[in-house]
Structure 1
Amino acid sequence: MARQLFEPIYRLYYETFSKPPYQWPEGEEEQYRRRFERLVADPTFGIAVAQCGDELVGFAYGYTLRPDTKWWEGFVTPVPPEVTTEWEGRTFALIDFAVDESVRGKGVGRRLHDTLLGSRHEERATLAVEPQAHEARGIYEHWGWQVVGRLRGPATDFAPEFDIMVLPLSSKA
């Protein structure tokens, strides 16, 4: 399903993340395509989509972190090992999540979030949000996500820093 929906997913991704407060680097379209293909090929990939008629109006997707993940490397201040230690099936990383402006504030995002995370078997979920994305971060906090630290992005990344958030998946913990 995800591969067939790539074009509408990319269109919504672009409409959401090419505007402030987000940063849109040169070459992002091709990088996004490569990242998406890698993610979809991962056997732990999960996705939820929202459609209004034939139009895609939201998506959320991610994958399970592996024990050797680099996800937890590069924090500005130290984060305890009980947060950063991974094992098989511990953490689902919510990689991208977007809702069309026309349906924001109508519960579409919450339903996507709950549908995707409710389908997972991991103990917890994590996501990265740009610090200047106050609206998105506020929504995540309202839904129970907690910031565990600020991560310095790699020099090749589009944002210099990310706030890393974690949410227990209560039915699994």
Structure 2
Amino acid sequence: MILLETKLKDCYVIESKLFNDERGCFYEVFNQIKFNKIIGADVNFVQDNESFSFKGVLRGLHFQKGNHAQAKLVRVSQGRVLDVVVDLRKSSRTFGEHLSIELNEENKKQLFIPKGFAHGFVVLSKSAVFSYKSDNYYNKESEGGIIFNDSELNINWQLPEDELIISKKDMVLPELKTCKI
């Protein structure tokens, strides 16, 4: 596992060593000991989630608050997505900043998202399978979110807005400046 720092404090891209031969490819997706060593923290993932979505589906920007905050390790096993995270930690030097990265089945990159971040993604390919580990269980009463088209964040989702497929719930999320974090 190779750790690459991003512009957002404590948020990392993780690359795996690929073993290719005439049969195909093998790589280690996750190893708890190696993972904790490279990020310099003791993260214990307790839940794995996976979604299947079609092109243009935008999920996010979501987060869990308080005692139910979640760190996540995300990846794409099929297709391509633009993954976006926003630093919501008011004490962070990168508060209010966002990062966009393409995750896909070819680059096999993973993104570690620490607690205190909003997260979302949009599917760029015909369809995609998106998987993530979280270090805390989902709690409906602790969920929060930020509207995908927040003018201050100015996120380029790489698809025209009229091609996005967004849930009714995500369409009414607040802007960052009025969000209760």
Same fold (TM over 0.5): no
User: Which structure is richer in relative contact order (CA contacts within 8 A, separation 6 or more)?
Assistant: 2
- Whose strand proportion is higher, 1 or 2? 2
* TM-score, normalised with respect to structure 1: 0.32
TM-score using structure 2 length: 0.31
